[in-house]
Amino acid sequence: MRTIALFSLGGAPGVTTLALALAGMWPVRVPTVMVEADASGGDVAAWRRMPSGPGLVELAATARNDTAFTPAEQQDVLLDHTQRLPGGQSVCTAPVTTDRAGGAVRLLAQHPGVLRPVTDTVTVVDLGRLIPRAPAVHLAAFADVALLVVGDDVAQLKRAKESIAALRLGISGLGLVVVGGSGGTGQVSRAVGAPVWGRIPVDERGGAFLRGEYHQARPRRRPLLAAARRLAHTIIDAEESGQHLAEVNAS
Ligand SMILES: Nc1ncnc2c1ncn2[C@@H]1O[C@H](COP(=O)(O)OP(=O)(O)O)[C@@H](O)[C@H]1O
Ligand SMILES: [Mg+2]
C-alpha cells in the first residue's frame, strides 16, 4: 500500500514521464496506477490519443459525492476511474486544460483517501509543478513518498535549494530525483540539502516510447526505464528499512 507523489518546481524536468515509467517498471507484481493529478492539465491522454475520461474529473467527483466508502469500495473507486494503455498500464488521466484539471485536483486534495487503495496497489501520482499553498501540496503531504524532480541545471537546482526548507515543513520524507547530468549524486544532495533518491538519464527514445510515439522491441532496456526501475527499488528498500516511514510516521 503505497502512494508515491512526484512533482517539480518549474521547467519540465520530466515528471509525467517519470510517473509513467515508475508505475510501468514497478519491480513487484502488484497492480500500479499512474494518476495524473496535475492542476495545469494532463498530457497522457493526448500523448496516447485516448479520451481523457474516465479519469481524474470523475474520480474527484465520486470521491466528493460519497465519502462513506468501505475499504474495499475505496479500492474500486480508483480502479474504476482508470484506463489501460496498450502495454497494460492503468492510468487515471487528467483533462488537458487547467480549468477542468485544477478543479479536480482541488476536490481530490479534500478526499485524498481514494489515492491509497487498500490492497497492494501502488499509486504513482503526477502532481506537476507544485505551487506554494496550492491543493496539490496537500496531496504531496498525504503521499508516503514525495519526490521533487529536478533537471540537472543551475536554475532548477538553485530553485530546489531555496525551496527545500519550506517544502520540508509541510511534506515529510521528501526526496530528490535528478534528471540528466551524470556521475554521483552526493554533490547535488549536499548542494540542495535533500537526499537524492535517483538519477534519470536523458533518453530521447525512452521518452518517445512513453509518449506512445516510438515502438520499442525491448523497452525495458531503455536507460530511462531501467533507471525508473532502480528508483522503484530504492523506494522499496527505504520503506523496508523503515528509514522513510519513520519520517512519515513522525509527521
Ligand atoms: N529522461 C528523459 N529523457 C528524454 N526525454 C524526456 C525525459 N523525460 C521527459 N522527457 C521528454 O521531455 C518532455 C517533457 O517531459 P514531461 O514528462 O512532460 O515533463 P513535466 O511533466 O515535468 O512537464 C516530453 O516530451 C518528454 O517526453
Ligand atoms: Mg507533466
Average of per-residue pLDDT across 15-29: 97
Report whether pLDDT(228) > 90: yes
Q: Measured in angstroms, how far is the CA atom of residue 64 from the centroid of ligand 2?
A: 25
Q: What local confidence, expressed as pLDDT, does residue 28 receive? A: 92
Q: Measured in angstroms, how far is the CA atom of residue 203 from the centroid of ligand 1?
A: 9
Q: What local confidence, expressed as pLDDT, does residue 188 receive? A: 94
Indicate if ligand 1 lies below 6 Å from the C-beta of 202.
yes
The tens digit of pLDDT for each residue in 185-217 reads 999 999 999 999 999 999 999 999 999 998 888
Q: What local confidence, expressed as pLDDT, does residue 27 receive? A: 95
Indicate if ligand 1 lies below 6 Å from the C-beta of 8.
yes
Indicate if ligand 1 lies below 6 Å from the C-beta of 42.
no
Closest ligand (CA of 8): 1
Identify the burial level of 194 via C-beta atoms within 10 angstroms of its C-beta, where 0-12 means exposed, 13-18 middle and 19 or more buried.
buried
Closest ligand (CA of 38): 2
Distance CA(147)–CA(149), nearest Å, equals 6
Q: Pick the closest to residue 48 from 30, 27, 62, 34 (CA basis).
A: 34
The 3-state secondary structure of 219-233 reads: HHHCHHHHHHHHHHH
Q: What percent of the chain has pLDDT over 90?
A: 78
Ligand 1: residue whose CA is nearest its atom 8: 14
The partner residues of 32 in beta bridges, in order of sequence, read 122
Instruction: Answer for the pair 193, 224: CB distance below 8 angstroms, yes or no.
Output: no
The tens digit of pLDDT for each residue in 37-84 reads 999 999 999 999 999 889 999 999 998 876 666 766 666 789 899 999
Q: Measured in angstroms, how far is the CA atom of residue 250 from the centroid of ligand 2?
A: 30
Ligand 1: residue whose CA is nearest its atom 25: 207
HSE (CB half, 13 Å, CA atoms) of 35?
Answer: 36
Report whether pLDDT(244) > 60: no
How does residue 250 score in pLDDT terms, banded at 50, 70 and 90? very low
Omega before 54 cis (within 30°)? yes
CA-to-CA separations, 57 to 17, 48, 49, 102, 126, in angstroms, rounded: 21, 18, 18, 9, 15
Report whether pLDDT(94) > 90: yes
Q: Which of 7, 17, 177 to mutate to test the pocket of ligand 1 (most atoms within 8 A of CB)?
A: 17
Distance CA(198)–CA(209), nearest Å, equals 21
Indicate if ligand 1 lies below 6 Å from the C-beta of 90.
no
CATH topology of domain 2-250: Rossmann fold (3.40.50)
Which atom of ligand 1 is found nearest the CA of 43? 18
Closest ligand (CA of 47): 1
Q: Measured in angstroms, how far is the CA atom of residue 18 from the centroid of ligand 1?
A: 8
